[in-house]
Amino acid sequence: MDNILRGKNIIVGISGGIAAYKTPQLVRLLKKCSANVRIALTDGGTHFVSELALATVSEERVYRSIFPPADTTGTDYTRHISLGEWADALVIAPATANTLAKLSAGLCDDMLSALFITLRPGKPVLIFPAMDGQMFLSPSVQRNIATLAAQGCIVISPESGELASGQCGTGRMPEPESILSSLEEALHCTAQDSAFYGKSVVVTAGPTREKIDGVRFISNYSSGKMGFAIARAAAQRGALVTLITGPVHLATPPGVTRLDVESAVEMHGVAQSFFKSCAIFIGAAAVSDYRPVAAIEGKMKKEMPEIELTLVKNPDILAEFGIQKAPGQLAVGFALETQTGLDNARKKLKAKNLDLIAFNFFDRKSSGFEVDTNIITLIESDGGTTELPQLTKYAAAGRVLDAIEKLFVQQAGINP
């Protein structure tokens, strides 16, 4: 991939969480990519990272207050406005509960919160909340995150692991390398030069629910995060994205048409109506392989000492698309595997006639269902494999889309 960061103006906003100690490394990585970096540090942030360290690595003064000293001359009085104009992207890492509350309420009492408001529309804002796990789950933090996401900010959930409190939970800021990859993906917003521009992309996401009776169902732990990240990233690259999703608790990414379904049969029915018209079909849903032969009316009673449930196979949506796709259409799948994964993924690629499959190992810590990161190996139909490092699902989505773009270019070479 070209170095999309070269010459870009990036503001790094740092608030007062322990993860702030990692931010000089993030700034160094950005500088290595030839980005211009300016830093807005909150008062809280100064307790965890030194202004001098940040000024040294960014080769710029660090911005903190919107109120310059009284003897200021020139444009420093309106720096919060000029910084908002200057920036191609804003990355806030770590974003504390306090900073999230300020941003979502529109307060602007320091440089970070003020320039957030003056940032030009359409410029990506990536927010990396990082805090104690219990704080992160509190209703007020979740409400503020939802408000910022609804405004179009890309809010990337923290990772799980050991926290500063010594407890384990969801609250860790992703590593600087992972933040950098997410930013690279967000900068693809300038979509006109992407092979995705104007293409119709269908993405399936989330779990399906297979009814046992009126109140019970069979399902799985899929959160829909990977499919939603793919949909978001494809829309940012200018694709016309239809997201067919099972029941999830996720906001619809900007510019994406969302169709909610419940069962595999429903998902199949909706997906089929796009088989002829879509350019790319990406199956990221964890479709239940089986469903009860017939759902019992009402609520099943528990008098029986044991019951037998007969399951029948569900349609394989992606395989059906793969097998009937026309030249020029691309089929992309995911393979969540535990053991002998790579071989199984290769078999699926062939059996479903896919152009690309993303194999991800299932460990529920850094990869697979529910978590916010993924470790993917991409396998192409010619056997070529690319191992990706642990990335946020958003950044991983970008790498999957890069691989699809490559396939488009190859195809265009074959059928100019």
Active site residues: 220
Per-residue CA distances from 272 to 106, 267, 353 (Å): 44, 8, 17
Q: In whole angstroms, what is the distance from residue 125 CA to residue 133 CA? A: 23
**Does position 334 bind ligand C5P by CB under 6 A?**
yes
The interface region with ligand C5P, picked from 253-261, 303-311, 327-335, 396-404 by CB under 6 A, is: 327-335
Q: Which of 318, 371, 395, 397 binds ligand C5P (CB under 6 A)?
A: 318
Binding mask 240-279 for ligand C5P (x = CB under 6 A): ------------------------x---------------
Tokens linked to 102 = 């300020």
Judged by CB under 6 A, the number of residues near ligand C5P is 15
Binder of ligand C5P out of 42, 104, 242, 314 (CB under 6 A)? 314
The reply to whether 204 sits near ligand C5P by the rule CB under 6 A is yes
| Helix pair angle (393-414, 225-236), 10° resolution | 50
Q: Taking the complex as a whole, how short is the minimal distance between the CB of residue 345 and ligand C5P, in angstroms?
A: 8
Query: Scanning residues 347 to 376, which ones bind ligand C5P (CB under 6 A)?
Result: 348
**Structure tokens given for 378:** 């991409």
285 scored as a contact of ligand C5P (CB under 6 A): yes
Could you say which of 40, 112, 235, 287 contacts ligand C5P (CB under 6 A)?
A: 287
Nearer to ligand C5P, 62 or 264 (CB): 264
Task: Name which of 67 and 362 has its Cβ closer to ligand C5P.
Answer: 362
Q: By CB under 6 A, is residue 335 in contact with ligand C5P? A: yes
Q: CB nearer to ligand C5P: give 45 or 333.
A: 333
The residues, any chain, with a CB within 8 Å of residue 33's CB and separated by 6 or more, are: 3, 5, 6, 180
Instruction: Name the minimum Å distance from CB 331 to ligand C5P.
Output: 9
CB of 271 to ligand C5P, least distance (A): 8
Query: Please, which residues bridge with residue 13 across strands?
Result: 40, 92
Question: To the nearest whole angstrom, how small is the minimum distance from the Cβ of residue 311 to ligand C5P?
Answer: 13
When asked if residue 317 is in the footprint of ligand C5P (CB under 6 A), the reply is: yes
Of the candidate spans 131-139, 177-185, 299-307, 329-337, the one that interacts with ligand C5P by CB under 6 A turns out to be 329-337
Q: Applying CB under 6 A, which residues contact ligand C5P? A: 204, 264, 283-285, 287, 289, 314, 316-318, 333-335, 348
